Amino acid sequence: MSSTQGTAPTTATAGFDGPGEDQLLPQLVAHLREHRARLRHEWSDRIQQAGLLHAMTPQEMAAETTSVYDNYVEVLETGSVEALQRYARDLSERIIPRGVETHEVVGIVLLLRDVLARSLFEKYQRDFGLLNRVLDAYEPAANRIANTVAVSFVEERERVIRQQQDALRELSTPVLPVRERLLILPIIGVLDRERARQLTEQLLTGIRTHRARVVVVDITGVPEVDESVANHLVQTVDASRLMGASVIITGLSPKIAQTLVTIGVDLSKMDTIGDLQGGLEEAERLLGYRTARDDGTAVP
Amino acid sequence: MTGPRLVSILRQGSYLIASIHTALDDTEMTAFQHDLVERIGRDRARGVVIDVAALDVLDSFASWTLRTIGEVARLRGAVTVVVGIQPEVAFAMVALGMDTGSVRTALDLEEGLAFLDRVVGPRRPATATRGGPA
Amino acid sequence: MPRVEAAEWVGGPPVRDSDAVAALIPMVRRIVAARVADVTAAEDLVQETLARVLAASGRVEPGMLEPYAIATARNVVATAWREQDRQRRNQHRVVDLTAPDLPEGGLLAEEERSAVAAALARLSERDRQALIAHEVSGRDTRSLAAELGSTAGAVAAQLHRARARLRVEYLLARDRTEPPTDRCRPVLFALSSGDRRRQREVDAGRHLLECDVCAALGQPLLERAPQRDDEVRIPIGGDADVVAARQAARELAGRLDCFSPTDLTLLATAVSEVTRNIVKFAGSGEVVVEVLDEPRRGVQVTARDAGPGIPDVERALQDGYSTYAGLGLGLPGARRLMDEFAIASEVGRGTTVTMTRWCGDR
């Protein structure tokens, strides 16, 4: 913060007549507290106009903007960003999973800086000298706040990404039970031998756990496979069959199909369907069809 | 066979339920094959469930024996379904290059029986009360 | 020690005493068995305890026989332990010719001595001098080293080799056998010295399958080697051994904590296939499963037989090569299940399959 930081007084007496430099920030803080409701509202409107934070509901937005506002004023008052930093990390942790982007977070803080600066402008516009001194005191503090929030957000985001990557590595092949007896295995990213192995183990164990009769393996997200991985894929299909589950492959790109044919995989023996939606429909048909046939064959 | 029972073959309606309780060597596996095929003929079974859930390995000989049982059973008019192949065992079989050929597989005994009901009709065909289009 | 059975005591010392001592047998057995695992050794100690109690029974106050027996049993066991301990500490000094079935009687002792003498005579002059100086004259390695201008470590190594040779020559002399092939002595020496690398270099496992003489002579040498918990050897002679071999492999590999259930099953299945090949084509052989640390951690399986051998190994490794009942999956299948797979076969001599599965990065 600026050089005024260390001199922030403990009492925030509002003296409008020729305040000393050390009185400027307390005065400012008192002003922001006094007009809290109006300024906060103004800020919220600006956020909405700018189309930021659309991932949040109005209620959430109101709650968070109030907290940010209060933290903001507190930093101006105490000169300490610790509380703000903690809050910013906490906020980031909550909103990152909602898909809030860095530019949005930086954007709303800059908007708040702007809104507050305008209100100061209005308040002090008749005393240009005082206005200048107030803004001199305010701006460095406001910039520091913006910086703190942005850095906290980015750090938190990186931490979350790292965590997600770790989790992704562990669960690189999530087996999703979508409905009774039906599993989906969406494979995303490059398949190497080790991942392919994990995939198979998880799928086969998943079949037993969920007592699956049909499995849809979606490989839309797989850019390419080499021969050993393609073989592995075929083995996975065969092993699933040995456990009594039918496998439908969806999202087979022409390139991968070519690889499979090249290594001698008989594609006619594999149930392949263009996209995941079609695959799911086929799966439901298989499950439903069987039920229908149960009844149909009930009479000898 | 003497000692603790390695296998059991139980009759349930027109089905036979054969369970392998422990790892069998080739001689025992072959004896099991003969016993089961003989029972299929004697009991005029229409469906056979072979439960291999207790096996931690199904190597080429065991896989081949299961196929043979299935094919011989078919010639004798019975449908065979192998149930309970464990995930690791299934993968090892495929990696080895084995499968159960024309013999169907199902997850467990319950699924196996449901499969037989679908393809050969219900276990107690006498009760023909269940209606449906012929 | 004379065997003492309860029934024999009647008519020896006073009947009263022998009856009382006989009543102690179950208790003494329990005490000794709780401390000594080896059944034969335990029984010897029980007998020794009873003999002592019986000898002292006249001096022991009535009613005190039981506590006396307990104390005696403990003492006897403790003495046996001390004895064993001393033996172990001095083992490097002993020529270690005491085969478990050490022959008794004067004549046999004489043969024994002559076998040792013959064995000594077959050593090189240098080895013999060193052994005699160390074992008989009691010279320590340091003073021997000083005399020879060598180091104590080098002398100890030389003594180790000399003893290993002496054991081999002793066994040959005792059985009045000449090794039938040139390979026998190196193999027996490798076994005797317990040098595993050397054993691999001379392919000792294969030789023991091929050579009956060495198989018999090698037995006491193999038994002498300390039990290893990272290796298991399964003799193969029939169907049931196929199951035993794959279970042993799974068990050993499972202890490493680096294999998934799938890995273990793949390994067990591969072992099943190669072991079945031994039974089918050679009738008998052996499977050795061992933990590897170099170049990586893993499990290595060696399946060897002295059967007819495979005329065309390349073809046997192709899918569909029919070996029995329309199945040719044994070798190519096992190869697919393992990370490394090598096969060496010679018609008329037999086949060795060596295969490895490495630990995953888990």
Mean local confidence (pLDDT), B65-93: 95
| Inter-chain touch C265–B56, beta carbons under 8 Å | yes
Residue A180 shares a structural domain with residue A162: no
Residue A123 shares a structural domain with residue A215: no
Residue B21 pLDDT = 93
* Domain CATH code at residue B109: 3.30.750.24
**Which of A166, A184, A204 finishes a domain?**
A166
Chain C residue closest in CA terms to B98:
C329
Q: What is the ipTM of this complex?
A: 0.88
Residue A155 shares a structural domain with residue A186: no
Residue A99 shares a structural domain with residue A204: no
The B15-20 sheet, strands edge to edge: B7-12, B15-20, B47-51, B79-83, B104-106
Residue A193 shares a structural domain with residue A129: no
Measured CA to CA, the distance from residue C36 to residue A215 in angstroms comes to 59
**Which of A143, A166, A189 finishes a domain?**
A166
- Tell me which chain A residues have a C-beta less than 8 angstroms from the C-beta of C361: 194
Mean local confidence (pLDDT), C138-151: 82
Confidence of residue A18 (pLDDT cuts 50, 70, 90): low
Confidence of residue C290 (pLDDT cuts 50, 70, 90): very high
Confidence of residue C105 (pLDDT cuts 50, 70, 90): low
- Tell me which chain A residues have a C-beta less than 8 angstroms from the C-beta of B131: 299
B2 Cα to chain A: minimum distance (Å): 32
Residue B13 lies in a domain: yes
What would the pLDDT profile of C62-79 be if each residue is shown by its tens digit?
Answer: 677 888 888 888 888 877
Q: Of A220-224, A233-237, B25-29, C210-214, where does the model show the most confidence?
A: B25-29
Domain of residue B74: give its range: 7-120
Residues of chain A contacting C, Cβ within 8 Å: 194, 197, 200-201
Residue B109 lies in a domain: yes
Point out the residue among C243, C265, C327 whose CB comes nearest to the CB of B25. Answer: C243
Residue A125 shares a structural domain with residue A267: no
Question: Between C362 and C303, whose confidence is greater?
Answer: C303
By mean pLDDT, which of A158-167, A277-286, B5-14, C158-167 is the weakest? A158-167
| Inter-chain touch B25–C239, beta carbons under 8 Å | yes
Chain A residue closest in CA terms to B90:
A239
Residue C93 pLDDT = 46
A29 Cα to chain C: minimum distance (Å): 57
Q: Does B125 touch chain A (CB under 8 A)?
A: yes
Tally of domains within chain A: 2
Domain of residue A268: give its range: 176-296
Residue A44 lies in a domain: yes
Residue A32 shares a structural domain with residue A113: yes
Does position B82 have pLDDT exceeding 90, yes or no? yes
Mean local confidence (pLDDT), A209-223: 90
Give which of B6, B26, B27, B94 to mutate to test C binding, by max C Cβ within 10 Å: B26
Residue B129 lies in a domain: no
Q: Does C319 touch chain B (CB under 8 A)?
A: yes
| Inter-chain touch A294–B118, beta carbons under 8 Å | yes
Residue B73 lies in a domain: yes
* Domain CATH code at residue A57: 1.10.490
Residue B44 lies in a domain: yes
Confidence of residue A134 (pLDDT cuts 50, 70, 90): confident
C262 Cα to chain A: minimum distance (Å): 7
Q: Other CB atoms closer than 10 Å to residue C71's CB: what's the count?
A: 12
Residue A131 shares a structural domain with residue A205: no
**Which residue from A161, A163, A110 is spatially nearest to A139, judged by alpha carbons?**
A110
Q: Does A257 touch chain B (CB under 8 A)?
A: no
- Tell me which chain B residues have a C-beta less than 8 angstroms from the C-beta of C264: 88
Measured CA to CA, the distance from residue C265 to residue C254 in angstroms comes to 10
Residue C17 pLDDT = 64
| Inter-chain touch A201–C260, beta carbons under 8 Å | yes
SS (H, E, C) chain C: CCCCCHHHHCCCCCHHHHHHHHHHHHHHHHHHHCCCCCHHHHHHHHHHHHHHHHHHCCCCCCCCHHHHHHHHHHHHHHHHHHHHHHHHHCCCCCCCCCCCCCCCCHHHHHHHHHHHHHHHHHCCHHHHHHHHHHHHCCCCHHHHHHHHCCCHHHHHHHHHHHHHHHHHHHHHHHCCCCCCCCCHHHHHHHHHHCCHHHHHHCCHHHHHHHCHHHHHHHHHHHHHCCCCCCEEEEEECCHHHHHHHHHHHHHHHHCCCCCCHHHHHHHHHHHHHHHHHHHHHHCCEEEEEEEECCCCCEEEEEEEECCCCCCCHHHHCCCCCCCECCECCHHHHHHHHCCEEEEEEECCCEEEEEEEEECCCC
Tally of domains within chain B: 1
Residue C304 pLDDT = 94
Q: Does B2 touch chain C (CB under 8 A)?
A: no
Where do the domains of chain C lie, and which CATH numbers do they carry?
Answer: 6-89 (1.10.1740), 106-224 (1.10.10.10), 231-358 (3.30.565.10)
Give which of C259, C262, C265, C361 to mutate to test A binding, by max A Cβ within 10 Å: C262
Average pLDDT of the residues of chain C: 81
Residue B93 lies in a domain: yes
Residue B51 lies in a domain: yes
- Which pTM does this prediction carry? 0.60
**Which of A166, A187, A214 finishes a domain?**
A166
Point out the residue among B94, B114, B122 whose CB comes nearest to the CB of A242. Answer: B94
* Domain CATH code at residue A268: 3.30.750.24
Residues with Cβ within 8 Å of residue B119, at least 6 apart in sequence:
A297, B47, B79
SS3 A188: strand
Mean local confidence (pLDDT), A150-172: 73
Residue A126 pLDDT = 86
Does position C274 have pLDDT exceeding 70, yes or no? yes
Residue A256 lies in a domain: yes
What would the pLDDT profile of C109-123 be if each residue is shown by its tens digit?
Answer: 777 778 888 888 888
Confidence of residue C248 (pLDDT cuts 50, 70, 90): very high
Residues with Cβ within 8 Å of residue C348, at least 6 apart in sequence:
C308, C309
Residue A85 pLDDT = 85
Residue A109 shares a structural domain with residue A198: no
Mean local confidence (pLDDT), C237-264: 93
- Tell me which chain B residues have a C-beta less than 8 angstroms from the C-beta of A295: 132
- Tell me which chain C residues have a C-beta less than 8 angstroms from the C-beta of A228: none
Residue A190 shares a structural domain with residue A262: yes
Residue A193 shares a structural domain with residue A266: yes
Point out the residue among A236, A242, A290 whose CB comes nearest to the CB of B99. Answer: A242
- Tell me which chain B residues have a C-beta less than 8 angstroms from the C-beta of C329: 60, 96-98
Q: Does C323 touch chain B (CB under 8 A)?
A: no
Chain B with chain C: Cβ pairs closer than 8 A = 77
Residue A86 shares a structural domain with residue A154: yes
Residue A26, preceding peptide bond in cis (omega within 30° of 0):
no
Give which of A170, A192, A195, A201 to mutate to test C binding, by max C Cβ within 10 Å: A201
Residue B133 lies in a domain: no
Tokens of B113: 């029986």
